[in-house]
Amino acid sequence: MPLLGYMQPTAAALLLSSFQPSRPVKLRVGISTCPNDTFAFHALLEKLVLVEGVELDFVLADVEELNQRLDLGSLDVAKASCHAALIHGHRYALLRSGAAIGYGVGPLLLAREPDRTPRRGDRVLCPGALTTATLLFRTLYPELGAPEHCVFSEIQPALRAGRADFGVVIHEGRFTYRDAGLHLVADLGDHWEERTGAPLPLGGILVRKQLGGRLHRALHRALQASIDYAWDHREEVLTTMRRHAQEHSDPVLWKHVELYVTDDTREISRSAELALRALADAAKRCGAMPSSMSPLELAPAAL
pLDDT tens column, 187-211: 999 999 999 999 999 999 999 999 9
**Whole-number Å distance between alpha carbons of 241 and 14:** 31
| pLDDT bracket for residue 288 (50, 70, 90) | confident
- Whole-model pTM: value is 0.85
The residue among 96 and 180 whose pLDDT is bigger is 96
What top-level class would CATH report for the domain 108-196? alpha beta
**Whole-number Å distance between alpha carbons of 70 and 65:** 9
Hey, do 9-102+201-285 and 108-196 end up sharing a CATH topology, with the first three levels equal?
Answer: yes
The catalytic position among 42, 149, 171, 216 is 171
Measured N-to-C along each axis, helices 270-285 and 188-196 cross at an angle, to the nearest 10 degrees, of 100
Instruction: List phi, psi (to 5°) of 106.
Output: 180, -160
CATH 3.90.850.10 fits 9-102+201-285, yes or no: no
The residue among 275 and 249 whose pLDDT is bigger is 275
Is residue 171 annotated as a catalytic residue, yes or no?
Answer: yes
- Say how many C-beta atoms besides its own lie within 10 A of residue 1's C-beta: 4
**Whole-number Å distance between alpha carbons of 93 and 86:** 9
Domain boundaries, the chain: 9-102+201-285, 108-196
Across the strands, what pairs with 169? 108
Q: What is the pLDDT of residue 298?
A: 94
pLDDT tens column, 99-142: 999 988 889 999 988 988 889 999 999 998 889 999 999 999 98
CA distances to 154, 159, 165, 242, 281 from 274, rounded to whole Å, are: 33, 35, 34, 34, 11
